[in-house]
Amino acid sequence: MAHEIAQFPAATEPDAGLRSYRLVVFCLLGLALALLAYPALRMAWDFEIDNTEGWNAFYQLRAIAGLSVYDVGSPYFFNNYPPLSFYMVGALSVPLGDPVLAGRLISLLAVFSICVSVGAIVRSAGGSRLDGLFAATTCALFFAAFVTDYVGKNNPQLLGQAFVMAGLAAHLGGSPAAGRAALTAVLFSIGVMTKHNLICVPLLVAADMLIRGNGRARLAFFATGLGLAAVSVAGLWALVGKAFFTQLLAPRTWDVARSFLFTTEVLGQYQAPMAVVGLTLSHLRRRRPAGLALAYLAGALALGVFFSGGAGTDINVFFDVFIALAIGAGLSLHMIRLPRARAAMALAINAGVLFYAPFCLGRFGVDILGEMDSRERLFHDDVAYLAAIPGTALCQSHLLCLRAGKPPFYDPINSLQAMIAGSLPADTLTGMLRRHEIAVVEISDPPKHGEDDNPGVQGMPSRFTDFQDEVFEVLRREYVVERIGLSGRFYRPRPE
């Protein structure tokens, strides 16, 4: 494939155009580093960035302890993720002393790895070093500005994405060869066994291999990939039985309105790069690098639209779109023969980032100057309160229960989906609440049905639904709010 790409050498630019382009790229790089400093510094503070952090940490601790990551002893706590991330993060947590810190560090490093792969892909297509740096910088800006809370968070998405993008960089890094194809398949396998929704790039490369690969490369790619898949399935079945497959394939509700609103929200942030990169790649689609990048963008967007309709999904389902746009940005500036327009195109592609950057920097300043200290202190107050209460605890903030020494008991989103699917009785949670079997309930979601003095929350649509509406009604009748803290409301059973 390298010999096909080589027909598009870097263009010779007038000095003025090159200087302005270089100035823009280095200014954008400086902005990217400034924005990434926020999640890098935030890692050290002990409070919850997102409730998946504690959920992952429970399993990471079990992994390093040699315990099952698919059976925690509670029928209401589920794991629908592949196992690899729990062992990788768990291993790093041994020297660091905390799985949450280990997961945050790996997540941040994964972003840098993704950006390096993006730059390498543009370079392998004949782009200059500046084109590669621009693509990598654009990728960093997209993540740092628009999905700040995912960068440096204890969550396996970016780790898996880093392996998959390294596989794509390997695939495009030279001429077709059996060794390169096998390495690509290995990296893809690691990525998918880290996070199972990372199927866009492997499917794209599989199609590309069938169309353009030679016989030896095809054989190496598919034999390695299918072989690793068979070994993984057999190993998981032998170690944990059907529990992994049952939980991974558990059904979830899908809502077309959720998909539409979620997609339009995301595209609203990325309309500038979608317009510039999409139109440019469409114009150049018959050229090998541009055509592949356009296929990646289209496939990533289609999968993102589909995944976004599923209950519990978050903006990570669109990460492939962001990465494809960054690759397309570097290719567009390399392949369009308008040297004096490159600086303007680079700014146009990042127009949304530049518009949003002051807000990000302002948040950075406020948090560093005391807000994060305050949040950590308030979080520790919640932990101390919860730890002092004996008995079963239900936490929507999983890190809160983890820090308070409470075992994993109830996973709200997955338990709700299990009740909707019929694998758990519909009154599973409400029944436990009526019987006062739960000593304390912590809920971050706003109260419903006029439970407090904040009626404005009534009727507001929520992207995430963790509890049935009747749960709040039962809580209102059977429990009292004993505490309101950083983590939300703490409910205790009403006295008999």
Q: CA dist 201 to 161, 180, 198, Å?
A: 10, 16, 7
Query: Collapsing DSSP states into helix, strand and coil, what is residue 371?
Result: helix
Segments in the chain below pLDDT 70: 1-14, 447-463
- Residue 114's nearest CA partner among 90, 138, 98, 131 is 138
Type of residue found at 23: L
Q: For position 16, what pLDDT does the model report?
A: 74
Count of beta carbons in the 10 Å neighbourhood of residue 304: 25
Long-range Cβ contacts of 254-262 (<8 Å, 24+ apart): 254/309, 254/310, 254/311, 255/309, 255/311, 256/309, 258/308, 258/309, 258/311, 258/463, 259/305, 259/306, 259/308, 259/309, 261/461, 261/463, 262/308, 262/309, 262/313, 262/463
Res 294: pLDDT: 94
Say what the pLDDT of residue 462 is.
Answer: 59
Residue 417 amino acid letter:
Q
**Which residues, 6 or more positions from 259, have their beta carbon under 8 angstroms from its beta carbon?**
305, 306, 308, 309
0.85 cut: is pTM over it?
yes
Q: How many other C-beta atoms can be found within 10 angstroms of the C-beta atom of residue 245?
A: 14
- Per-residue tokens: 337: 């023969």
Return the pLDDT at 7: 45
Q: How far apart are CA 447 and CA 469, in angstroms?
A: 10
Instruction: Tell me the residue length of the chain.
Output: 496
pLDDT of residue 132: 96
